[in-house]
């Protein structure tokens, strides 16, 4: 047993006046020696992390829109380029997809969003197929240790996996890190549409 000393509220030991130094935010909160936290609390804006020297609202952004676009373009241009053979396409870093090799739809989208054909950032899509399933994983919680699923269940999974291995139709498409440049095709379609 440790004996806690008894300290009366009106004793000199209980409390004393001390002068403390520390960071205080603009809105009056004390942060001790945590200058960064005090500055964050007291500020409304911070410098754009893109290095352009503009101020961005501290709660919403770390990078301004112009720098964000620039960085995205740099990432896009760093991707390998391949010729387009009509595969599904996707706008880089965006959820816009174009299926069926429909150049008209792409031309329309570019016009609607006031994007010049040579500024479209399109990447190929990769097909995603349903993965094979392992009954040992699916029923891992139910199967006894070192046990197996009954033969009829194993057979059913084997038949299912055989069908899945055929990869007849993708279950979805996902953006691939391969860019395509179809500026000329889209320009031609826009010109055609205007002359019609």
Sites of contact with Zn ion (CB under 5 A): 48, 50, 52, 64, 67
| Sheet strands (E) in the chain | 45-47, 55-57, 89-91, 97-98, 122-128, 172-180
- C-beta separation of 48 from 64 below 8 A: yes
Alpha carbon distances (Å) from 50 to 37, 65, 72, 93? 22, 10, 12, 18
Minimum distance, C-beta of residue 54 to Zn ion, in the bound complex (Å) = 5
Q: Output 52 or 156, the one with its CB closest to Zn ion.
A: 52
Minimum distance, C-beta of residue 55 to Zn ion, in the bound complex (Å) = 9
Residues 6 or more apart in contact with residue 35 via CB below 8 angstroms: 23
User: Is the Cα torsion angle 178, 96, 117, 128 positive or negative in sign?
Assistant: positive
Q: Output 50 or 135, the one with its CB closest to Zn ion.
A: 50
What whole-number distance in Å separates Cα of residue 3 and Cα of residue 110? Answer: 79
Minimum distance, C-beta of residue 80 to Zn ion, in the bound complex (Å) = 28
What whole-number distance in Å separates Cα of residue 90 and Cα of residue 140? Answer: 38
Minimum distance, C-beta of residue 64 to Zn ion, in the bound complex (Å) = 3
Q: Output 73 or 161, the one with its CB closest to Zn ion.
A: 73
Q: Output 56 or 123, the one with its CB closest to Zn ion.
A: 56
User: Is the Cα torsion angle 46, 49, 55, 58 positive or negative in sign?
Assistant: negative
Q: Output 74 or 112, the one with its CB closest to Zn ion.
A: 74
Minimum distance, C-beta of residue 46 to Zn ion, in the bound complex (Å) = 11
């Amino acid at each position: 047993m440790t004996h806690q000393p008894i300290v009366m509220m009106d004793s000199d030991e209980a409390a004393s006046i001390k002068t403390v130094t520390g960071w205080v935010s603009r809105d009056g909160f004390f942060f001790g020696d945590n200058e960064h936290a005090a500055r964050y609390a007291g500020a409304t804006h911070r410098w754009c992390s893109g290095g352009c020297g503009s101020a961005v609202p501290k709660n919403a952004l770390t990078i301004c829109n112009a720098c964000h676009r620039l960085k995205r373009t740099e990432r896009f241009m760093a991707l390998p380029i391949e010729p387009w053979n009509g595969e599904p396409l996707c706008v880089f870093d965006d959820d816009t997809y174009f299926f069926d090799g429909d150049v008209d739809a792409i031309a329309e989208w570019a016009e609607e969003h006031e994007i010049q054909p040579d500024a479209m950032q399109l990447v190929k899509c990769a097909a995603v197929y349903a993965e094979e399933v392992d009954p040992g994983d699916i029923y891992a919680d139910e199967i006894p240790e070192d046990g197996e699923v009954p033969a009829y269940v194993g057979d059913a999974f084997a038949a299912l996996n055989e069908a899945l291995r055929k990869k007849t139709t993708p279950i979805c498409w996902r953006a691939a890190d391969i860019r395509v440049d179809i500026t000329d095709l889209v320009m031609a379609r826009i010109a055609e549409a205007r002359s019609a």
